[in-house]
Amino acid sequence: MRYSYIAVEGLIGAGKTTLARRLANKMQGRLVLEEFDDNPFLPRFYEEPERYSFAVELSFLAQRYHQLKRVTEQDLFSACTIADYSLGKSLVFASVTLPPDEYALFLDLYGIMYSDLPRPELIVYLHLGMERVRERIRTRGRSYEQQIGVDYLMQLQERYLDHLQKSSGSRVLVVDLGEKDLLHDPLAYERLMELMQADVPEGFRFAEL
């Protein structure tokens, strides 16, 4: 595969981390995983979103920046790198959770911090229907995720797709998983590999497994 930096995206439970691990293993590449377990504001945000929305988004922004900054300083992007999130994830979530004035401030901080970081050459977005997303969340069993509302998830999905269509500097492959399970369906996984190995044009492409 000719890409040196690939980011896997999708909603909660879409299989981002699992796919990123498999790709890194297959391509003998470097793996960059989001450190969300270290965010103390996340459980509080799901309990009181209005109170903790700015704190959780700002803390994620800082965590992602520091992690990706370490990667670039260590020159890890000279080899194939696979991440289970993209830079734009912070913008997507903040656009849903923050009121306009706080989002404007957040946008300024994002622009200042991320302007010198490299963009993924390819973003693979794993698209799932809402029922499957809710099923995955239940299966994961994280207590603080069980109260996430469908409306919130739908807003995130819409903002993700809108953001990806407007992304510049990256090729975007949106893959509709339908009822397929990449972890347990070898044919679906191989089909995804074929889509990724094909010449993805610049801009936004939608495909089904």
Catalytic positions? 84
C-alpha to C-alpha distance for 59 and 45, rounded to whole angstroms = 12
Residue 178 φ then ψ, to 5°: 55, -125
Side chain identity at residue 162, one-letter code: D
Residue closest to 172 by CA, chosen among 192, 200, 197, 152: 200
Residue 104: which region, alpha, beta or left (left: phi > 0; alpha: psi -120 to 50)? Answer: alpha
Note the Cα 194 to chain centre separation in Å: 21
Per-residue CA distances from 184 to 95, 106, 154, 209 (Å): 34, 39, 26, 14
C-alpha to C-alpha distance for 89 and 64, rounded to whole angstroms = 10
Contacts of 199 (CB under 8 A, 6+ apart): none
DSSP string, 135-158: HHHHHH--GGGTT--HHHHHHHHH
3-state secondary structure of 98: coil
